[in-house]
Structure 1
Amino acid sequence: MSSFYHAIHFRCTAIAVLAFIFLSAMKVWAQNDVTFPLVIDSVKSNPIPNGYHYEMWKQPAGTVKMTVYNQDATFDVEWSNIQNFVARVGLKYDETKTHKEIGVFTAEVEFQKGQIRNGLAYFGIYGWTVEPLVEYYVMEDWQDWRPRAGDGMHTLVGTINVDGSDYEVITRQMKQQPSVKGTQDFPQVFSIRKNTRASGTISISNHFNKWEDMGIDLGKLYEVKIKVESYSGNNNGSGSCKVTKGKILVDGIPTSIQPICDDFSAKRQNFTGLNSTNGTYTLISLSGQKISSIASDLSQPPVFSKNNVSPGIYLLQSKLNGVTLQTRQWVVK
């Protein structure tokens, strides 16, 4: 039996297991002389040790300074004399699964805008899909200008209601423009909130699902990120924004890795008064993808098939009668 199964153990001490993982990650970053806060002032795309991913794209004109903190998906950005930039932090995917195959996406955000001059700015959720190539926006707030039907080849598809507000759904076909796959033709799709806000919970998957109900095809996910963007037609836009709260959750599970000390035996749930402790354990990757789920006695450690689970660090979710009891980090040896 032992040859077919991994015994999955969670080690209590951060020194023994999680410290090893974090020190290994630190070694990788140290090779490139990377420390946090990390300042990015050119086009770059890299993972962050806490499980998120940052990307900054800009056109040549002007300067942009993006500061990434390795604390959830928070970041700051300042810009001057720019034409166009997009700064974002969130989840990066391998382009093999659709949003429905990964799970239900939500985000918790707070944007603190500084003074913005001589240009438009967008604040919200942003990303791309491939096969087909689609650039998408969930705009929670905007400044100076936003896409409108009939303006610049934008088309109103309809109106949806998400998170207590109406959003206009607008599309635009781009011709030979920059993308995550080089210069290509592709559609843009926007959900633009009528009652703009600077903070709150964003039900991202509700937008995805409602777009698809409207006939908008989304492909396999390249990314789901929190975004700040600005554009100035005369290359003199300036401004700043702090993303002081930034989390993206998949099926209610946050992504960010936090060093914790935990012991299975010491932190079992209190099952007093229950007729049964039989429930389910679900192993979830740090990017929010479900890896494996088993029925089990929740008073005992889980055992997953080695055919389904590779060694690494995961999130372990326990459920009883459909209710999530606990989510913790879990190491597969």
Structure 2
Amino acid sequence: MLSPSSIFVAALSVASVFAVPTNSTEGAAFGLVERSGTPPSQGTSNGFFYSWWTDGAAQATYTNGGGGQYSLTWSGNNGNLVGGKGWNPGSASRVIHYSGTYQPSGNSYLSVYGWTRNPLIEYYVVESYGSFNPSSAASKKGSVTCDGASYDILQTTRVNQPSIDGTQTFQQFWSVRNPKKNPGGSISGTVTTSCHFNAWRSVGMNLGTEFNYQIVATEGFQSSGSSSITVS
């Protein structure tokens, strides 16, 4: 029987990779796109890439605002979902800023999230989380100080699981802020991707040579909450 943390990691892995392009939508007159219980979608909104996926079990509304802003509300303590804004392709040298509010109740992450190919890698820089520490389900490889904060470096293996390239076996790379930024209200920060990626490389965790998307994502699994984040 899987531990709750293993279930959470697995579920979010499935959630993220189901966000395959089904339509691209620019905001209408007010730059807003609302989805509630609709199929997964990816596209562009006000100059930023966005990705949104939900399995439909939760009451969830994702909204693209102006520029790099998005908001997400979910309730019902059921299902899993992930949404956010950023860039496609990602970059090994991007300095990412985020600000807004993050108020989870239960299992949730706020993270820089993305994929690479050659090899296929799913990666997270976790800034905050709800009731679950994702490092409890991964093997610790070391630690690093980036942007004035300490992060645990971790790695997991996903065997025959959904990915951006279909069912595959691949690695997950993690930096988990320790201690986390407290959820429940205003939140902001900076993630210098090169700091994390170089630290991963130093312990033998090598990202792929081809970047896919890279977003600041809000994720939830059998939980409730709200998030309003602006990415730059």
Please give the TM-score of this superposition, normalised by the length of structure 1: 0.56
Uncovered stretches (5+) of structure 2, i.e. residues with no partner: 1-23, 182-186
Instruction: Decide which of 54, 58, 67 is 2:50's aligned counterpart.
Output: 54
Is the 1:155–1:172 Cα contact (8 Å) retained in structure 2?
A: yes
Higher strand share: 2
Aligned length: 200
After superposition, the CA RMSD in angstroms is 2.2
In the alignment, which residue of structure 2 is the partner of 1:265? none
Tell me the percent identity.
Answer: 27
Where do residues 1-333 of structure 1 align in structure 2 (5 Å cutoff)? 36-41=31-36, 42=38, 43-48=40-45, 50-69=46-65, 71-81=66-76, 82-93=78-89, 99-100=91-92, 104-114=93-103, 116-117=104-105, 119-148=106-135, 151-152=136-137, 154-197=138-181, 198-219=187-208, 220-232=210-222, 237-243=223-229, 245-247=230-232
Deviation at 1:178, TM superposition (A): 2.4
Is the 2:25–2:44 Cα contact (8 Å) retained in structure 1?
A: no
Deviation at 1:33, TM superposition (A): 6.8
Cα deviations across residues 129-183 of structure 1 (Å, max 9, x unaligned)? 11211111111111101123xx44x100110110111100111111222222222
**Distance of 2:96 and 2:30 partners within structure 1:** 26
Is the 2:25–2:43 Cα contact (8 Å) retained in structure 1?
A: no
**Distance of 1:74 and 1:209 partners within structure 2:** 28
Instruction: Give the counterpart letter for 2:167 in structure 1.
Output: T
Larger radius of gyration: 1
**Distance of 2:119 and 2:193 partners within structure 1:** 19
Task: Say if 1:64 and 1:144 are closer, same or farther in 2 by CA, change over 3 A.
Answer: same
**Distance of 2:115 and 2:189 partners within structure 1:** 22
Deviation at 1:205, TM superposition (A): 1.7
Task: Say if 1:83 and 1:29 are closer, same or farther in 2 by CA, change over 3 A.
Answer: closer
Deviation at 1:99, TM superposition (A): 3.8
Instruction: Give the counterpart letter for 1:194 in structure 2.
Output: N
Residue aligned with 2:195, SS: helix
Cα deviations across residues 66-110 of structure 1 (Å, max 9, x unaligned)? 1001x23210001123321110111012xxxx845xxx2111111
Is the 2:25–2:33 Cα contact (8 Å) retained in structure 1?
A: no
Instruction: Give the counterpart letter for 2:231 in structure 1.
Output: G
Is the 1:111–1:123 Cα contact (8 Å) retained in structure 2?
A: no
**Distance of 2:131 and 2:158 partners within structure 1:** 22
